[in-house]
Structure 1
């Protein structure tokens, strides 16, 4: 529409709006260009892999324009919980430190962010002591693993690995949040990494989430193997899907 009928103040306001729209459009174009130009890192933590699979555009935007993260007291409490569980079985041998590179990722795919305070931490300890794993000595704890998928190195740390009487393994990841939602891709990565690091057939490595607060053990069915994980990392959908099952 023309501006012939506008008064001076109105014309100036419309011109100001036009400048704001031009600025917003320019910012959007620059943001999109930055996202297109970002290269994925050659090494990913397990938590980064999960974010990439769940929200590729959001992950790439964060790489293009990283935001500072405030300190997370709950993350420190989560690390203390892991250390407490490890102390229950402190005679275990050191895990694979001579085989794998050091891992900087926190235990699991990311620290649980829902341990509120010291009292909540104590209640989690009590809940773990009621769980099926309370008195079962792990074969390894806080085991660092790495896996090359589609040309990228994925690193993580397994909370606990149990060895069964028949020589097979069970990988367990402890979840201390208040929900029973967890991404099976995390277990899939750990399962393939452990199988390959120990030269164990993949069908002899199972995996489960222990939701500590409820004591619920969930064993996802149909976990992706190496080939399916690589397709997922390359952006393809996973038609087989994953279905969770209580164990």
Structure 2
């Protein structure tokens, strides 16, 4: 083989064919079936070599889509290279039973307040992530446990102003879409945006709340400092309200390649 090329695998010898440098000419010639197998191996090796060379290319131009979901924006901010690799070579997503159970939890919470008005904006399309799509709910028993945990939370008796409200905003020339789990209106006219988390950890990206907070503020014409945001970690009942959430200017810098939210998190309860 040439220098730098993958070695070619030798074809299998016929059963009983002598080995060694003195075997008669043609004694090791492959059968037609063996020749086809060897040619198939060569094609596979060439394809793998080409894939490796493309993967090791120093520069690849990958254009960001004109519209992103809130979760895609978080992925971009957390791991730009990984996000770009996924765009360049998208992989099919396996079925997610836990996500379906998470969606059922969201539907159950919404059903508790079924007299609420329709969402403020009807912007949901097939590309927008569904409520509960990033959640971890194992089975019916786990779903029942989550319902009981929510009933113990501080939001159990608070009536939301809106639920499952689809929102969008334009940042750095790209449309960001998402769906807010719940919005509460305070007596003084300010708002609180809340995202339910049903996972087993209290790790959540404040960037998600920053996007939802800004989207709600701009959609309703509310000053940004009159919109707060919180995660409710349903299993533990813990409420986390991140401080110093980025506004429009900082979110646009993040989208343009400056990562991080520079925010601290404060837990209540």
TM-score where L is the length of structure 2? 0.79
Q: State how far apart, in whole Å, the 2-side matches of 1:207 and 1:172 are.
A: 6
Q: State how far apart, in whole Å, the 1-side matches of 2:182 and 2:228 are.
A: 12
Aligned to 2:82: 58
Specify which structure has the higher proportion of helix. Answer: 1
Aligned to 2:265: 244
Aligned match of 1:190 in 192, 212, 217?
Answer: 212
Q: State how far apart, in whole Å, the 2-side matches of 1:234 and 1:148 are.
A: 13
Aligned to 1:111: 134
Aligned to 1:161: 183
Aligned to 1:141: 163
Aligned to 1:233: 255
Report Cα offsets for 1:120-174 as digits up to 9, x if no partner.
Answer: 0000000000000001000000000001000000000000000000000000000
Report Cα offsets for 1:17-49 as digits up to 9, x if no partner.
Answer: 9x9998766423313559823211000011111
Aligned-residue offset at 1:222: 0.4
Moved more, 25-34 or 142-151: 25-34
Aligned to 1:69: 93
Q: State how far apart, in whole Å, the 1-side matches of 2:50 and 2:94 are.
A: 29
Q: State how far apart, in whole Å, the 1-side matches of 2:239 and 2:120 are.
A: 26
Q: State how far apart, in whole Å, the 2-side matches of 1:175 and 1:86 are.
A: 15
Pick closer, same or farther for the CA change 1:163–1:32 going to 2, 3 Å.
Answer: farther
Q: State how far apart, in whole Å, the 2-side matches of 1:22 and 1:95 are.
A: 54
Q: Which has the higher contact order (CA 8 A, sep 6+)?
A: 1
Aligned-residue offset at 1:236: 1.2
Following superposition of structure 1 onto structure 2, how do residues 96-135 of structure 1 map, counting pairs within 5 Å? 96-97=120-121, 100-103=122-125, 104-107=128-131, 110-112=133-135, 114-135=136-157
Moved over 6 A (4+): 19-23
Aligned to 2:29: none
| Residue 84, structure 1, aligned to residue 84, structure 2 | no
8 Å contact from structure 2 (residues 241, 265) kept in 1: yes
TM-score where L is the length of structure 1? 0.86
Q: Which runs of 5+ in 2 are unaligned?
A: 1-5, 10-41
8 Å contact from structure 2 (residues 243, 266) kept in 1: yes
How many aligned positions are there? Answer: 228
Q: Which runs of 5+ in 1 are unaligned?
A: 1-13
| Residue 36, structure 1, aligned to residue 60, structure 2 | yes
Aligned-residue offset at 1:118: 0.2
Aligned-residue offset at 1:242: 1.3
Aligned-residue offset at 1:70: 1.3
Q: State how far apart, in whole Å, the 1-side matches of 2:104 and 2:7 are.
A: 57
8 Å contact from structure 2 (residues 191, 228) kept in 1: yes
Report the aligned-residue RMSD: 2.2
SS, match of residue 73 in structure 2? helix
